[in-house]
Every structure is written in structure tokens, then in C-alpha cells.
Amino acid sequence: MAKSRSIALPETTMSDDNTLHAGFNPLVRPYMVLFVAWILLLTVVLSPLILIWVVGPGQWWAGHYYRKLRCALDDRHLNFRKGILFQVEKTIPLENIQDVTFIEGPLLRHFDLSILRIETAGQSPGQAHNMQLVGIVDAHRFREEILRRREALRRPSPVQGEASGDAQLQALHAIRERLDDIATLLRDRSKD
């Protein structure tokens, strides 16, 4: 289980238009610094840059990256924005979401962080995409809300079901009438 820390976490909030705005854990900043430091450590050539990275540009980069993070969930879409030099903004329709995976590792658990991996399906084979959200506060609840809203979209409301059923019934009656007209015309033609 994750250790509890005495850091004030930004809250996940609901706006007036039923959009859920995710808060990000500020500990995502030191996590990112250590993550890149670990990558630098793995490359022997760049390992002397670790100390410079951790004390200087790493702090600036992680802070700026954190301030640029945005994630909002409304009734139809998941919107996510990140990036410093290259800004990435993704809007994923909830009906395209195939799975939402919750990931924790030793370093993530140390910082009370987790990763939500959003797996989506593309329109043609081989176009599936993944998106990772690192450091969302109360990630389990956010994951459950994504899945709940996705299921609500997939399941038509009873009123919509009745209305579409009536429309289908009317269309079927119109088709039957047209088929009767065609059958009558064919009978008349065969008599001639």
C-alpha cells in the first residue's frame, strides 16, 4: 500500500457542464527528474550529466512539464495535453477506449504515483493507440469514472431505445408498403 504523505494534492473537480478535471500529483516532478536520471545512468557516456541534470535543467524541465499537464473527462471525450517544446493534445472519444490499465512500480509507489494507460482502437487494423497519464490524483477513481462514462455511452437510455424502436418500426412499415406496391406492379405486368 502507498505511504501517505503530507503534501497537499490538487483535487479532481467537477465543473458545471459535468466535465471532470483531473488533478495531478505534484510528486510527478521529482519522479520525472529521477526517471530521466535513471535513463542517463544507463548510458555510460552520459552518466556524468546526471548531477547536472538533477540540480539544474531537470528541475526546470519537470516543473514546466507539470504546469503544462491538463486532463479533462466529459460525457463523450477524454482530453489530455502535455509537453514543453512539442505540445501534444489528444482528444479521445470514450466509445473508442478499449481498456484503461492501472500501473504501479517501485519508483512510482515511492512517490505515491501511478500510470493510467488508455488503450484505444483505430478505424483500421494496426491503428490502435495507447496514451499514458502519469500522476493523476486518485487514479483508481478517475479510471472507474472513465469506464462508467464509456459504458453509459454504449448503453442507450430507455427513452432513446423506445424512440429508435418506433422509428425502425415505421421504416419497416414503409418498406413493406413499397414491397406490396412492387409486387402489385409485377403482377399487373405479368398479366399483360
- Please tell me whether residues 30 and 62 are part of one structural domain: yes
Count of the separate structural domains present in the chain: 2
pTM over 0.85: no
- Please tell me whether residues 110 and 140 are part of one structural domain: yes
pLDDT at 10: 75
- Indicate whether 68 pLDDT > 90: yes
Asked whether residue 1 is assigned to any structural domain, the reply reads no
Q: C-alpha cell of 161?
A: 431505445
* pLDDT higher at 127 or 120: 120
CA dist 81 to 71, 84, 158, Å?
A: 6, 10, 35
Inter-axis angle of helices 28-42 and 57-68, nearest 10: 130
* pLDDT higher at 29 or 121: 29
- Please tell me whether residues 113 and 140 are part of one structural domain: yes
Find the domain containing 179 and state its range: 156-192
pLDDT at 20: 87
CATH number assigned to the domain comprising residue 109? 2.30.29
Asked whether residue 6 is assigned to any structural domain, the reply reads no
| Cα torsion angle, 45, 51, 57, 63, sign | positive
pLDDT tens sequence across 107-126: 999 999 999 999 987 655 55
Asked whether residue 120 is assigned to any structural domain, the reply reads yes
- Please tell me whether residues 170 and 134 are part of one structural domain: no
Alpha helices in the chain (DSSP H): 28-42, 49-55, 57-68, 106-110, 139-154, 158-191
Percent of the residues in the chain that have a pLDDT greater than 70, as a whole number: 87
Mean pLDDT of 150-172: 76
